[in-house]
């Protein structure tokens, strides 16, 4: 039930914006989504299953945004800068993304274990959510590897040294993370910081 699943996740996300996760009730999530409580339990199994699915969806949404940012411009530095800006913006706008990127989970948020849990779900999306969830280090590596894959794909002019490119990509992600923890002045912001660092790197 993909449509019902998305509606339930949207309802859970909205509820989380209004109250701590501990105060979010499954019956209210189901009612907001316009489905039965049984449908909710069939889809996620439990409140923890719902939390894992919500975290997984937000992680996937963040990574999809990284992929989009990496294709907006033709210049390698501009692509990496766009990915850094997206990372900082996503963390500002979404508490779950911020928690995943920094590892700082407040009491208001669900805090599912990053390790996989036993899953008996018949729902493929839930079995995936019940698998391992990404740590901050995992997300850094995923963004770095995605950036390298995009920037070394056929038709994209880029550096011959993939190792140097990987280092530059990781530097960009870590600079973006530092801007989440300690936001730079509004003028220029993360883009100026990233561009300044990249022009010292062996990136074309």
Distance of CA 127 to the CA centre of its chain: 19
Q: How far apart are CA 109 and CA 200, in angstroms?
A: 39
| Average pLDDT, integer, range 23-29 | 97
CA 169 from centre of chain: 17
Neighbour-count burial of 179, counting CB atoms closer than 10 A to its CB (0-12 exposed, 13-18 middle, 19+ buried): buried
pLDDT, the chain, mean: 90
**Token digits of residue 70:** 């990496």
Q: In whole angstroms, give the CA distance from residue 129 to residue 117.
A: 9
- Model confidence pLDDT, tens digit, residues 161-202: 788 889 989 999 999 999 888 887 666 688 888 888 887 665
pLDDT for 162 equals 84
Q: Is the dihedral of CA 12, 15, 21, 27 positive or negative?
A: negative
Check pLDDT > 90 for residue 42. Answer: yes
pLDDT at 81 over 90: yes
Task: Give me the pLDDT at residue 187, please.
Answer: 62
pLDDT of residue 190: 87
Chain segment 86-107, per-residue pLDDT in tens = 999 999 999 999 999 999 999 9
Distance CA 151, CA 101 (A): 23
What per-residue confidence (pLDDT) applies to 201? 62
């Amino acid at each position: 039930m993909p449509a019902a699943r998305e509606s339930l996740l949207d309802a859970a996300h909205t509820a989380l914006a209004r109250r701590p996760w501990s105060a979010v009730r499954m019956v209210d999530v189901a009612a907001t989504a316009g489905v039965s409580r049984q449908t909710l339990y069939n889809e996620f199994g439990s409140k923890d299953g719902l939390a894992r699915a919500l975290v997984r969806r937000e992680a996937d949404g963040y990574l999809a945004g990284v992929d989009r940012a990496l294709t907006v411009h033709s210049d390698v530095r501009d692509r990496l800068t766009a990915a850094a800006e997206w990372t900082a913006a996503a963390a500002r706008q979404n508490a779950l993304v911020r928690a995943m990127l920094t590892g700082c989970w407040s009491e208001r948020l669900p805090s599912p274990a990053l390790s996989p849990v036993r899953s008996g779900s018949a729902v493929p999306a839930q079995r995936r959510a019940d698998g391992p969830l990404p740590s901050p280090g995992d997300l850094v590596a995923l963004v770095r590897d995605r950036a390298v894959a995009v920037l070394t794909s056929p038709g994209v002019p880029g550096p011959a040294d993939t190792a140097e490119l990987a280092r530059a990509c990781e530097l960009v992600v870590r600079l973006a993370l530092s801007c989440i923890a300690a936001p730079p002045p509004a003028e220029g912001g993360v883009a100026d910081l990233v561009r300044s660092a990249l022009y010292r790197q062996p990136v074309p």
